[in-house]
Amino acid sequence: MIGFLARRLLELAGTLAVASFLVFGAVYLAPGRPETFLLGGRGASPQLLAAIRSQYHLDDPFLVQYGRWLGDVLTGRFGESVQYRSSVLALVGSRLPTTATLIGMSLVLVLVFGIGLGWLGAVRGGVADSGVLVGTSLALGTPSFVAGVVMQSYLAIKLHWFPDQGSGTGFADLVYHLVLPSIALSLYWIGMLARVTRTAMLDVLGQEHVMVARSRGVPEAQVLRRHVFRNALGPIVTTAGLIVTGLVISTVLVEAVFTLNGVGAFLEKSVTVKDFPVVQAIALLIVAVFVLVNLVVDLLYPFIDPRVALGAREGGA
Amino acid sequence: MTVLSIEDLRLELPGASRPVLAGVDLEVRPGQTVALVGESGSGKSLTSRSVLGLLPPGARARGAVRVAGEDVLTMTPARLRELRSRQVSMVFQDPRAAINPMLRIGAFLTESLRANLGESKTGARGRAVEMLAAVGLTDRALRQYPHQLSGGMLQRVMIAAALLADPALLLADEPTTALDVSTQTEIVALLADLRERFGTGLLFVTHDLGLAAAIADHVYVMYAGRIVEHGTAETVFAAPRHPYTIALLEATPSLAQPDGRLRAIPGRPPDLRTELTGCAFVPRCTRATGECHTTVPVGQVACHHAGGTDA
């Protein structure tokens, strides 16, 4: 267990190192120059441009720039936003609660409805199952920003049931403001998790030990819980891990639609204006979430299936 | 009083041209071991599963399957669950497929006791340890997972689980087929021993005639959904009278005459798409006459040309 953890943590560090290089490289290669934005499109003297470029070390060779940035990041310094001229950590940190709450609410919706609908389809069959299949196809075919725009225009702007934008003030108000965004964000993933749950449970339902449990007089509800759902957990948990990372990515679009002041919208805005310290910090944060979620799923696996021993599997983030 | 009495059981499946079971009669008395013998597809497993009310989806059953006088086919789901948890249990062919691989042996053993008989955790555990000892396992097994035990040990667990609630009837559906030969002998000896100790009636389903001869008091031979011959084990094996039973015995390897050539039964059993008018064994039978094609034979030896004297 300790050895496994140590190995996984080393892998985590390796993945982050590679990711940091790619993130930095991508921003470096992207078109557009940050100083142009800084000057707001006004013409500037070559001296002023040179001053700005030297302030951000933009004229150093690529590897030197990367080395300096990595050294800073490792010591917790993510630099200053070009756009706001203040600490990247503070800017991202202040937007984190909104995004974390949005992802948390969406994840609850995905787990409850994804597993619930998949269970219903697998166990009930017939009309219920057809309904689940049609519903999940619809959900899987609807991009989150389309669902967001549609709900915004009907439920918020037309019916005034929900606010159409902003994050509100205080936690309760934040949750209220995040109802529509979290539904928009979770629809697609509910469809995916319902499909996976349904297939996994159908697979287990056909196994002999389920019939044997029934033949022993185990009540049906317990058969479904302890023998069918329990045994189907492997693919469900793996997919749930993928979904957490998928939710993180999708916040970029949904936060933009609902003009939420979160990390996703901040990333989108920062990419547009080439605010590279912010883009790099958020990209790195997303990679870290990916790697951590994978680690958690891998650590959960032996608890789900006793036949899987930690360390016996080929690890890989 | 019989523990099990199957009366004219008929079972129809959707998509089949003839009944899978076409009037099965069978009896098990308390403490008696009855072997149900036949080829794959003869309907022997379906017959044994019907005793637990485990019918394939869409199946229509007629006749009666009485356990201690009560018809299983008309039971409510709640009564059926009670029957399964107290009166009748089953040992299956492949213990590795029959036991949930994700649960500890202890959880598997005790779940039916706890769910149905309201046993406390410690009470159920005590009973489980007792039964594990009876099948030759220690309580160490309680904390183990199925993949940590061998096939033979798992089948012992299955038997312990089946006997946990002290049922009046134990069904064993080819309980040794998935095991290696030396383990087979152990399991059969164990079943015989436990039946003696607990006075459980045993319905032993097998295609292995040698095994049936070794364990059973009474033998039923099944072919294409019907019992074609039944009688005490000695009678059936020493003086078989139905051509199918005779052919089956001739097709069984014997240690007594190792040089004798085995005679396979020519042809195959009829499949479920074939409608039958007379005796199902006609195409493979050496004694078949015109009557056999038109009239279904009945009786303790269901044959128009049964050898020997009629009982």
**Alpha-carbon span B84 to A212, nearest angstrom:** 11
Query: Lowest-pLDDT range, B135-139, B193-197, B230-234, B307-311?
Result: B307-311
Alpha helix (H) residue ranges in B117-169: 121-134, 151-163
3.40.50.1980, 3.40.228.10, 1.10.3720.10, 1.10.10.10: CATH of A94-272:
1.10.3720.10
Q: Residue B232 CA to chain centroid, in angstroms?
A: 16
Chain A contact set for B54 (CB, 8 A): 211, 214-215
**Which structural domains are found in chain B, ordered by start?**
4-294 (3.40.50.300)
**Alpha-carbon span B123 to B139, nearest angstrom:** 14
**Alpha-carbon span B141 to B83, nearest angstrom:** 27
pLDDT at A42: 62
Who wins on pLDDT, B293 or A190?
A: A190
At residue B271, the 3 state secondary structure works out as coil
Asked if residues B85 and B112 have their Cβ atoms less than 8 Å apart, the reply is yes
Classify the C-alpha dihedral B288-B291-B294-B296 as positive or negative: negative
**Alpha-carbon span B76 to B60, nearest angstrom:** 16
pLDDT in tens, B233-267: 888 888 888 888 888 888 777 666 666 667 778 78
- Give the residue from chain A lying closest to B94, CA to CA: A208
Using the predicted structure, report yes or no on whether residue B310 has a pLDDT greater than 50: no
Strands (DSSP E) contained in chain B are: 4-12, 21-28, 33-37, 60-67, 70-71, 88-91, 169-173, 201-206, 218-223, 226-232
User: Within an 8 Å CB–CB cutoff, is residue B144 touching chain A?
Assistant: no
- Which residues of chain A have a pLDDT value below 50? 313-317
The domain locations on chain A are 1-83+275-317, 94-272
Task: Give the number of other CB atoms < 10 A from CB of residue A85.
Answer: 8
What ipTM describes this predicted complex? Answer: 0.86
**What pairing do the DSSP bridges indicate for beta strands B4-12 and B88-91?**
unpaired
What is the phi/psi pair of residue B9, to 5°?
A: -75, 125
CA distance A242 to chain B (A): 24
pLDDT at B57: 85
**Alpha-carbon span A166 to A181, nearest angstrom:** 11
**Alpha-carbon span A79 to A204, nearest angstrom:** 52
pLDDT band at B311 (very low <50, low <70, confident <90, very high): very low
pLDDT at B255: 64
Spatial neighbors of A116 by CB under 8 A, at least 6 apart, are A194
Instruction: Using alpha carbons only, give the angle B108, B98, B180 rounded to the nearest 5 degrees.
Output: 115
Q: Read off the tokens for B195.
A: 């039946």
Contact flag A222-B92 (C-beta cutoff 8 Å): no
Q: How big is chain A, counted in residues?
A: 317
- Rg of the Cα atoms in chain A: 24
pLDDT at A310: 62
**Alpha-carbon span A30 to B52, nearest angstrom:** 70
What is the phi/psi pair of residue B221, to 5°?
A: -105, 130
pLDDT at A258: 87
**Alpha-carbon span B311 to B300, nearest angstrom:** 8
* In the block, residue with structure tokens 């609630």: B165
Asked if residues A110 and A186 have their Cβ atoms less than 8 Å apart, the reply is yes
B169-173 sheet: strands from edge to edge: B88-91, B169-173, B201-206, B33-37, B218-223, B226-232
User: Within an 8 Å CB–CB cutoff, is residue A206 touching chain B?
Assistant: no
pLDDT at A316: 38
pLDDT at A314: 43
Strands (DSSP E) contained in A210-262 are: none
Chain A contact set for B103 (CB, 8 A): 226-227, 230
Contact flag B101-A307 (C-beta cutoff 8 Å): yes
Taking residues B168-178, what's their average pLDDT? 89
